[in-house]
Structure 1
Amino acid sequence: MRENWKKQKTVEELKKELTPLQYEVTKQNGTEPPFQNEYWDNTEEGIYVDIVSGEPLFSSKDQYDAGCGWPSFTKPIQRSELKENLDTSFGMRRIEVRSKTADSHLGHVFDDGPGPDHARYCINSAALRFVPKDKLKDEGYEEFLSLFR
């Protein structure tokens, strides 16, 4: 069931609820290995939500195989739920993508995608939870069923 995420969770609460990898990715800006993560090749219809807050982030309708080994999307469901920051770690210059509600590190956005905005949201599976189309209503995401009609 979709939970209303109203307060910041403590480190202890998050460490109980998340796997070590999910915590490392979302709260310590980690990255999971390419091609060895849950959703890089998912082809099922549904939406992806923030593993911490449950806020809707991406639709499988906007997912494509970018060949990078992580789930890639041309756009978010709601741009207002994402924030972007300049990331100069590891001697690179990239745009980090974080969720606004839970401040989860999600991944990065690049300008080499196939969509009209050329965006490629390269997102860690460990930052996401997939909600299949046939479970959207049961889990409180009924308003997103229209994406699949």
Structure 2
Amino acid sequence: MTSKSKMKPKMKPKKEWRRELPEQAYKVLFEEATERVGTSPLNDEKRRGTFVCAACGEALFTTDMKFDSGTGWPSFFESIPGTLETKRDFKLILPRTEYHCAGCGGHHGHVFNDGPEPTGKRFCNNGVALRFVPDED
């Protein structure tokens, strides 16, 4: 299962991303690591705004899409259309759906079918893979 985006990719060699990003963000985004549960300050972010890719700055989610999943990672029930691409992941033996930023290819997390209505989806995102941009007052 792969979704295709109409965005123009912002691809760079990994060595450039490594120079530009903090170590943990680089490991999550471009080596598909996972941050420790409960460590992201974005779990508690409640202001109105947009969650963007920490690498390329592409807008991926809004606060209207966010919910408290109780998992310890920022979670969203949908994404901004056309901003994510998905693929199957078998790293934990059972298949999961992994998603990446369509702009730069950075890994963000996995999507599960146990989220709230209206979509029933839970985009479980590594907080270090995101930056929060508050709406202007």
- Asked whether the two chains share a fold, i.e. TM above 0.5, the reply is yes
| SS across alignment from 1:23 | helix
In the alignment, does 2:69 pair up with 1:66?
yes
Question: By how many angstroms is 1:91 displaced?
Answer: 2.0
Can you give the 5+ residue segments of structure 2 that lack an aligned partner in the other structure?
A: 1-7
Task: Give the corresponding residue for 1:134.
Answer: 136
Report the AA paired with residue 74 of structure 2.
P
In the other structure, the counterpart of 2:93 is 91
Partner of 1:8: 11
Secondary structure in 1 aligned to 2:35? coil
Match of 1:48 in 2: 51
Query: Could you tell me how far 1:81 is from its partner in structure 2?
Result: 1.3
Which residue identity does 2:89 align to in structure 1?
A: D
Q: Percent identity?
A: 35
SS at match of 2:115: coil
What corresponds to 1:111 in structure 2? 113
Secondary structure at the counterpart of residue 134 of structure 1: coil
Separation in 2, partners of 1:11, 1:82: 19
* Deviation (angstroms), 1:7: 4.5
Q: 1:77 to 1:23 in 2, by over 3 A?
A: same
Max Rg structure: 1
What is the CA RMSD across the aligned residues, in angstroms?
Answer: 1.5
Alpha carbons of structure 1 residues 7 and 120: separation in structure 2 relative to 1, 3 Å: closer
- Mapped to 1, the partners of 2:106 and 2:15 lie a distance apart of 16
More helix by share: 1
Q: For 1:6 and 1:90, how far apart are their aligned partners in 2?
A: 29
Residue deviations 1:6-43, cap 9 Å, x none? Answer: 64222232112101100000000010011111311211
Supply the AA of the counterpart residue of 2:85.
K
Q: CA separation in 1, counterparts of 2:19 and 2:88?
A: 30
Structure 1 letter corresponding to 2:73: W
- Per-residue displacement from partner, 1:50-77 (whole Å, max 9, x unpaired)? 1111111000111010000000001112
Structure 1 length normalisation: TM-score? 0.82
CA distance in 2, matches of 1:57, 1:31: 18
